[in-house]
Amino acid sequence: MTYEAVIGIETHVELKTRSKMFCGCSAEFGGEPNTHVCPVCLGLPGSLPVPNEQAIDWIIAIGLALDSTIAGHSVFHRKNYFYADMPKNYQISQFDIPICSNGRLEVEVDGEQATIGVTRVHMEEDTGKSTHMGGDGRIQSADYTLLDFNRAGVPLVEIVSEPDMRSPAQARAYVQELREIVARLGVSDAKLEEGSMRFDANISLRNEGAEELGVKVEIKNMNSFRSLERALAFEIERQQNVLDQGGQVQQETRHWDEGAGITHSMRSKEESSDYRYFTEPDLVPIEISDEWRERIRSGLPELPGQRKGRYVEMGVDPVTAATIVGGGLGDIFEAAVSGGGSARTVSNWLVGEVTAYLRREGTSVGDTPLTGGALAELARLVEDGDVSSNAAKQVLEGVLAGEGAPRDVAVARDLLAMKDTGALEAIVDEILADHPDEAARLKDGDMKVLGYLMGMVMRETGGKADPKTANEMLRTRA
């Protein structure tokens, strides 16, 4: 039987507002435990929440970036459940009237476009952090638990997708695209390792072509894009085996075990079924006027999707454009192009040598001496024939390694092109003389030997020969 996977994703994004969602405490990550706290975020008796307007501005921005409908009137609800690191034992969240609804996000996998619906984007507050001491680190076996409320009350945006994804790769592309958007908007650090972006996935299988959805399983604890993809792939295989053997998939929450590479069933929470939502009486409804919404819209930066489209129009191929935008190389690319570099040359360097260097060194482009201006200068050197395109790659490495500006690196590494045609002519003549057979074949119009001879020239000149000139000389002097 062939099955189709149906995947939906809930993403939580912590906003990087200066203060928390409902009080004035710092929302900064880190800090000694329980130092970013006050009566409100500790849920002390008598304290009351007051909403952070910056957070509302930013969730509207996220909603607009996802093509959502922004509600003119939205309401906060209380979501009731007991948990030791949730100070009020209810979370201020949203229920039936979220701020953003009916959005969408375009994703691309292997050149194939898909539109993923975004059901809703709503505002809520984060909880504190429990550290279970003793045992295997889980609450059941712990001797005691330490609570840190520094994160309690940090503004949290929940983004719920439609079950529109059909493969783990598509799911990965969706969350990566989401991260690019919130990073571009400047509203979140979106750091998976710090928990400022996290996701849960729902996945079910159905017979290919079937309309009806299968039984869904929720997967938690995926801490990277790769683990999301792996967990979904594992889960597809697991469910497929269950179905193939005539069994039924259980509706449950499963925990991804990164080390073992498997999901396993989590103890089901008895309380989880009924959150007894009701309107938060301590807050008034949020009324978002057209003016407010349009003010946010007019302040939106260019979004990753729009940026990619623009790069493609500049002559960059779509995959390269996606790599530049996704790799955080958009700004340096644009600086290089506006400094006179050709879009195609610069983009190839960025996704080639530069990306390889960054990956190897485990750094980001902002932390290297490479600038858009340097890339533009290098492009000019190549264009003017001062540096061959081969040598340019070595110059680039030198610049990245902090050896100086492109021309200085080219001089220091002796990579400037041989402009002295007399010297080049001598070398070309010598090579032709040493290889009479090849010279004869070239003379007869056999272009296949040209590459071989060019290689000889380049070796002899240490890569400094201008390829165009050398090419022409070989043909005319053979």
Stretch that binds other proteins, among 109-117, 139-147, 431-439, 448-456 (CB under 8 A): 139-147
CB of 287 to other proteins, least distance (A): 13
Task: State in angstroms the smallest separation of the CB of 26 from other proteins.
Answer: 18
The minimum distance between CB 212 and other proteins, in angstroms, equals: 25
Name the residue among 324, 163, 320 with its Cα closest to residue 232: 163
Choice between 281 and 451, CB closer to other proteins: 281
* CB nearer to other proteins: pick between 22 and 234: 22
Spell out, one character per residue from 81 to 120, where the chain touches other proteins: x when CB under 8 A holds, - when not: -x-x--xxxx------------------------------
Distance (Å, rounded) from C-alpha 417 to C-alpha 462?
10
Least distance from C-beta 153 to other proteins, angstroms? 13
Query: How many C-beta neighbours within 10 Å does residue 291 have?
Result: 8
Smallest distance from other proteins to CB 53, Å: 11
**Residue pair 415/389 in contact by the 8 Å Cβ criterion:** no
Its sign, for the CA torsion 81, 84, 88, 91, is negative
> Is residue 135 classed exposed, middle or buried when 0-12, 13-18 and 19+ CB atoms within 10 A define those classes?
exposed
Sequence-separated (6 or more) residues with CB below 8 Å from residue 5:
165, 166, 167, 168, 203, 204, 205, 232, 236
C-alpha to C-alpha distances, 216 to 6, 159, 163, 169, nearest whole angstrom: 9, 19, 10, 19
> Rule CB under 8 A: is residue 261 a binding residue for other proteins?
no
Give least dist CB 285 to other proteins, A.
Answer: 11
Range 11-70, binding other proteins (CB under 8 A) = 39, 42-51
Residues of this chain, 295-334, that bind other proteins according to CB under 8 A: none
- Counting contacts by CB under 8 A, is residue 272 touching other proteins? no
Q: In terms of CB distance, is 131 or 241 closer to other proteins?
A: 131
Is residue 228 within 8 A of residue 222, CB to CB? The reply is yes
> At its nearest, how many Å lie between other proteins and the CB of residue 171?
30
Q: Rule CB under 8 A: choose which of 18, 226, 267, 276 binds other proteins.
A: 276
* Contact yes or no for 99/71 (Cβ under 8 A): yes
Distance of closest approach, residue 284 Cβ to other proteins, in angstroms: 6
DSSP 19-40: B-SSSSSB--S--STT-S--TT
* CA–CA distance, 335 with 268 (Å, rounded to integer): 53
What is the bridge-based pairing of β-strands 252-257 and 217-222?
parallel
Q: Among residue numbers 354 through 413, which ones bind other proteins (CB under 8 A)?
A: none
Instruction: Select from 281, 362, 445, 451 the one that contacts other proteins (CB under 8 A).
Output: 281
C-alpha 280/C-alpha 426 separation (Å) is 87
Of residues 143-162, those binding other proteins (CB under 8 A): 145, 147
Give DSSP secondary structure letters for 89-126: SEEEE--SS-SEEEEEEEEEETTEEEEEEEEEEEEEE-
> Which region, judged by CB under 8 A, interacts with other proteins, from 193-201, 269-277, 388-396, 418-426?
269-277
Assess contact for 121 and 103: CB atoms under 8 A: yes
What is d(CA 124, CA 127) in angstroms, rounded to the nearest whole number? Answer: 10
- Member of 16, 20, 78, 464 binding other proteins (CB under 8 A): 78
| Residue in 283, 300, 401, 416 binding other proteins, rule: CB under 8 A | 283
Site map (CB under 8 A) of other proteins, residues 206-245, x = contact: ----------------------------------------
Q: ∠ CA 165-187-163 to the nearest 5 degrees? A: 15
* Residue 51: CB minimum distance to other proteins, A: 7
Interface residues with other proteins (CB under 8 A) are 39, 42-51, 78, 80, 82, 84, 87-90, 139, 145, 147, 273-274, 276-278, 281-284
